[in-house]
Amino acid sequence: MKEQRTDFQTGAELLAICSEEQMKIPEVMMRREIVHGGRTEQDIRGRFGRVLSIMRSAVRDPVDHPRKSMGGLIGGEAAKVAAFGDSKMSLCGPLMNRMITYSLAVLEVNASMGLITAAPTAGSAGVLPAALLAVSDEKGLPDEQVYRGMLTASAIGYLLMANASVSGAEAGCQAEIGSASAMAAGALVEVMGGSPEQVLSAAAVALANVLGLVCDPVAGLVEIPCQSRNVMGALNAAACAQMSLAGAGFPIPFDEMADAMLRVGKSISYELRETALGGTAATKTGCALKERLFAKK
């Protein structure tokens, strides 16, 4: 009997396992976690239930109960967008407006010391829940299908942590928002019934779309421009998933894009890697906000 492959280090290896064993990415990732993580399937599902509960709370609470961030730079944006979506001036349909609202909401929770799920980081925590839960809510997906998306996102995040970076300090915001967007793009393809190849194609183009994105938080706080970049990451994920599901694939493999992201990140100057010394943080207004915040202390 042929021995089952239970681990993978690259996207190519993951696709090979899926092909050889006629499995999809969630099944491969679940098996890996059981064998190499020492957990039972019941335990893993229980953890996903807890994570999903946290995500749902984070995307919804700020809409009903707007909150100011610790730095005072953001707060209330989610409620404003949620309400604006019902107006005649709204440019977005219900799904897109929900994604924007959810992204903004999670960063409000994070910046006000609330409970969020890092996916893969706190600064990018709004991307995956915004994309996945907006689609789940709009289409009425069962939790089991959402779990499949989360397992798929986990596989992509694992590969990026192993072969690239998810740290803004190491490789710029492309490593945080880019990784989160790739995870979300793959998750959306999975929950909508796409193939493993389509999953990684969507993740690859999501990385390509934000290649070179710098990390430049105003006053060093995870508030501006982090909140709006979570919105961009979620919408990017949806667009990439849509293209991949439609058969408009991306010619560059996921593994090559992960390598490219790391190499680009290493070439970004340190002023643009979470130091708050460049980009948005170094604008006249950005510096004034920093001075105002530190003056209060």
Collect all residues with Cβ–Cβ distance below 8 Å to 116 and sequence separation of at least 6: 54, 55, 58, 106, 109, 110, 122, 125
- The residue range of the domain holding 41 is 11-296
8 A C-beta contact, residue 105 and residue 241: no
Q: Tokens for 54?
A: 């946290």
Tell me if 103 sits within 8 A of 124, measured CB to CB.
no
The number of distinct structural domains making up the chain is: 1
CB 240 within 8 A of CB 124: no
Asked if the structure places residue 2 within a domain, the reply is no
Does residue 146 lie in a domain region? yes
- Residue 67's alpha-carbon distances to 71, 106, 115, 134, in angstroms, are 12, 11, 13, 21
Phi, then psi, of 241 in degrees rounded to 5:
-65, -40
Would you give per-residue pLDDT tens digits along the chain (297 residues)? 456 788 999 999 999 999 999 999 999 999 999 999 889 999 999 999 999 999 999 999 999 999 999 999 999 999 999 999 999 999 999 999 999 999 999 999 999 999 999 999 999 999 999 999 999 999 999 999 999 999 999 999 999 999 999 999 999 999 999 999 999 999 999 999 999 999 999 999 999 999 999 999 999 999 999 999 999 999 999 999 999 999 998 999 999 999 999 999 999 999 999 999 999 999 999 999 999 998 865
Helix axes 41-64, 77-84, angle to 10 degrees: 80
Residue 5 lies in a domain: no
Confirm whether 4 is domain-assigned: no
Quote the pTM value. 0.97
Tell me, yes or no, whether 23 lies in a domain.
Answer: yes
In a domain, 34, yes or no: yes
What is the model's pLDDT at position 5?
Answer: 80
Is 145 part of any domain?
yes
pLDDT score of 230: 98
Let me know if residue 1 belongs to a domain: no
The helix-helix angle for 41-64 and 94-111 (nearest 10°) equals 90
Q: Which of 278, 257, 218 is nearest to 71 (CA)?
A: 218
- Give dist(CA 258, CA 100) in Å, integer: 26
pLDDT at 295: 84
Q: Cα(45)–Cα(136) distance, rounded to whole angstroms?
A: 18
Which of 171, 180, 255 lies closest to 213, judged by CA? 171
DSSP codes joined into one string, 35-89: HHH---HHHHHHHHHHHHHHHHHHHHHHHHS----SSSS--SHHHHHHHHTTSTT
* Residues 14/28, Cβ–Cβ less than 8 Å: yes
User: Length of the chain, please?
Assistant: 297
Could you give the CA distance from residue 45 to residue 51 in angstroms, rounded to a whole number? 10
CB atoms within 10 A of CB 34: 15
Q: What is the pLDDT of residue 1?
A: 46
Are 125 and 183 contacting, i.e. CB atoms less than 8 angstroms apart?
A: no
Q: 5 is written with which tokens?
A: 């492959």
Question: Quick one: pLDDT at residue 294?
Answer: 85
Structure tokens at 71: 């730095």
> Residue 1: helix, strand or coil by DSSP?
coil
